[in-house]
């Protein structure tokens, strides 16, 4: 295998891979999928554990150093902890993390840390049971909060990030509770701008509750100071002026960070996506199942990555939303 770095046609070095292990989910967040109309992928189209491990090895051979396991909800995949452990055993990965809605963390959190997952991002859009159920379609807040506590108390765990999608009318009244959480617990709470990736296609730019708006509202509750940005970081991080706690803002709509994007994505059915908003994807499952070796797969990946999109066009006239919803892409 070659050891040339994996670069795209715009000169960006690709080192970060998001791997979706399932399109299934135990929640129904309305900005991510549309309840009742979700069609799950046929089982035989989903990559098997050994296929995921094989492809991750090829990516790592190409210079990928950060792997994030996601979905759908990764913890609903059968045998996920074992799969995470196999991936953790691949030499060359510097950073292995999981993004989860937290519903099953009480059950799996300690086993995931024992399997070698160091960092866990927990998605949590509301801290009141009513708004949580309104957003996710399920009454599971207490379970998620218990899961977070179990994770917090697990020896060996790394930094815990709590991610909330900014939703106008939902997020604003939740901010005092999020501020209290960020100040009382060792969690970095981050707010993500809502992107047009839901199935109902009702997104408009004007509806987006921007990171700046949320930051202003938080600053009025407890003053914030900026923390210097790390390279490739998607979040702008602020600490509370009195030093207790941090919050971050991920602003892909109002302040796109495509210029130094180092990320690509593998879907649960084995497609390579070079941007969240790609309209084109590259099949890796077909060649893999047809017996392609690592060099052949690496060549397909290099070619696809070379054509990585310069930037997303969200909010531009003529923007086309990808056919896949976020739950099928893997966020």
Long-range contacts of 269-275 (CB under 8 A, 24+ apart): 269/23, 269/41, 269/45, 269/46, 269/47, 270/45, 270/47, 270/51, 270/55, 272/300, 272/301, 272/304, 272/305, 273/329, 274/8, 274/304, 274/305, 274/307, 274/308, 274/309, 275/308, 275/309, 275/312
Residues 186-205 that bind ligand SAM (CB under 6 A): 192, 194-195, 197-198
Binding track over 15-54 against ligand SF4, x by CB under 6 A: ----------x-xxx--xx---------------------
Residue 33: contacted member of ligand SAM, ligand SF4, none (CB under 5 to 8 Å, by partner type): ligand SF4
- Can you tell me the distance from the alpha carbon of 323 to that of 201, in angstroms, rounded to the nearest whole number? 10
Instruction: Answer positive or negative: Cα dihedral of 244, 109, 28, 141.
Output: negative
- Does position 104 interact with ligand SF4 (CB under 6 A)? The reply is no
- Can you tell me the distance from the alpha carbon of 267 to that of 331, in angstroms, rounded to the nearest whole number? 10
Residue 182: contacted member of ligand SAM, ligand SF4, none (CB under 5 to 8 Å, by partner type): none
State the residue number with the nearest CB to ligand SAM.
331
- Quick check: 270 and 51 in contact, CB under 8 A? yes
β-strand pairing of 187-193 with 95-100: unpaired
Number of residues that bind ligand SAM (CB under 6 A): 20
- Does position 274 interact with ligand SF4 (CB under 6 A)? The reply is no
- Can you tell me the distance from the alpha carbon of 199 to that of 46, in angstroms, rounded to the nearest whole number? 21
> Tokens in use for 173?
């009244």
Residue 120: contacted member of ligand SF4, ligand SAM, none (CB under 5 to 8 Å, by partner type): none
Nearer to ligand SAM, 124 or 305 (CB): 124
- Can you tell me the distance from the alpha carbon of 29 to that of 313, in angstroms, rounded to the nearest whole number? 24
The distance of Cα 128 from the centroid of its chain, to the nearest Å, equals 23
Nearer to ligand SAM, 101 or 274 (CB): 101
Of the candidate spans 45-53, 98-106, 170-178, 215-223, the one that interacts with ligand SAM by CB under 6 A turns out to be 98-106
- Does position 123 interact with ligand SAM (CB under 6 A)? The reply is yes
The only residue of 31, 59, 132, 187 in contact with ligand SAM, by rule CB under 6 A: 31
| SS3 assignment, position 97 | strand
The only residue of 97, 163, 234, 267 in contact with ligand SAM, by rule CB under 6 A: 163
Nearer to ligand SAM, 104 or 113 (CB): 104
Nearer to ligand SAM, 76 or 297 (CB): 76
Which parts of this chain interact with ligand SAM (CB under 6 A)? 25, 31-32, 70-71, 73, 99-101, 123, 163, 165, 192, 194-195, 197-198, 326-327, 331
């Amino acid at each position: 295998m070659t050891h040339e770095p994996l670069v795209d046609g715009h000169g960006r070095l690709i080192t970060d891979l998001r791997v979706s292990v399932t399109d299934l989910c135990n929640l129904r967040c309305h900005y991510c999928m549309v309840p009742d109309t979700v069609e799950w992928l046929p089982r035989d189209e989903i990559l098997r554990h050994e296929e995921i491990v094989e492809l991750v090895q090829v990516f790592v051979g190409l210079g990928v150093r950060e792997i994030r396991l996601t979905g759908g909800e990764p913890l609903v995949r059968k045998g996920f902890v074992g799969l995470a452990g196999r991936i953790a055993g691949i030499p060359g990965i510097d950073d292995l993390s999981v993004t989860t809605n937290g519903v099953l963390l009480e059950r799996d959190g300690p086993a995931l840390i024992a399997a070698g997952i160091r960092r866990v991002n927990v998605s949590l859009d509301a801290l009141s049971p009513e708004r949580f159920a309104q957003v996710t379609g399920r009454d599971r807040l207490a379970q998620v909060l218990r899961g977070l506590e179990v994770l917090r108390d697990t020896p060996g765990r790394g930094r815990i990030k709590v991610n909330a999608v900014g939703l106008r009318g939902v997020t604003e009244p939740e901010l005092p509770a999020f501020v209290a959480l960020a100040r009382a617990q060792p969690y970095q709470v981050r707010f993500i701008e809502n992107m047009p990736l839901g199935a109902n296609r009702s997104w408009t730019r004007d509806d987006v509750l921007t990171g700046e708006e949320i930051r202003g509202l938080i600053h009025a509750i407890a003053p914030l100071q900026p923390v210097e940005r790390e390279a490739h970081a998607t979040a702008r991080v602020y600490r509370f002026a009195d030093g207790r706690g941090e919050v971050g803002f991920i602003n892909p709509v109002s302040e796109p960070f495509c210029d130094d994007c180092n990320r690509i994505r593998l879907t649960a059915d084995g497609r390579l996506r070079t941007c969240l908003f790609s309209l084109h994807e590259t099949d890796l499952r077909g060649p893999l199942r047809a017996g392609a070796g690592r060099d052949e797969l690496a060549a397909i990946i290099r070619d696809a990555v070379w054509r990585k999109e310069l930037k997303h066009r969200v909010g531009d006239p003529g923007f086309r939303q990808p056919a896949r919803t976020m739950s099928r892409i893997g966020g």
